[in-house]
Amino acid sequence: MTLIKYTEDHEYISVEDGVGTIGITDYAQGKLGDVTFVELPKKGEKVKQGQPIAVVESVKAASDIYSPASGEIVEINETLNDQPDLINREPEAGAWLYKLALSNTAELDKLMDRDAYLAYASAEG
């Protein structure tokens, strides 16, 4: 079963078999505008929940991406190096940023489910 959780910084994590796939939400890409560059983390890097781990740059701004969970990066989406605008087209599908072998699944309890996230995002405007 796939578990999907969201952060207040508009990242999502989709977890299956102890591996989280992380990206930014459709709401986030809409606020950013046209994405022009993505700085991805390095495979093998160990990260802590809440740590800045990647950067997404758009015509409007550069935004830090924070890791929604702790663990070790096991894969990065290298397609984004050549096609950063994929984030605008497929934010919650093909444009994931990296995959993380989770070291503490209890951290996911601190994150929002989809309904809570959608309410949070709509309240933010």
**pLDDT digits 0-9 by tens, 1-46:** 789 999 999 999 999 999 999 999 999 999 999 999 999 999 999 9
User: What distance in Å separates the CA atoms of residue 2 and residue 120, rounded to the nearest whole number?
Assistant: 22
How many Cβ atoms sit within 10 Å of the Cβ of residue 42? 9
Q: Is 108 helix (H, G, I), strand (E, B) or coil?
A: helix
Helix, strand, coil in percent for the chain, rounding step 5: 25, 40, 35
Domain 3-124, CATH among 3.40.50.300, 2.60.120.260, 2.40.50.100, 2.10.260.10:
2.40.50.100
Is 0.85 surpassed by the pTM of this model? yes
Distances 88 to 41, 93, 108 between C-alpha atoms, Å: 20, 11, 26
Query: Tens digits of per-residue pLDDT, 63-100?
Result: 999 999 999 999 999 999 999 999 999 999 999 999 99
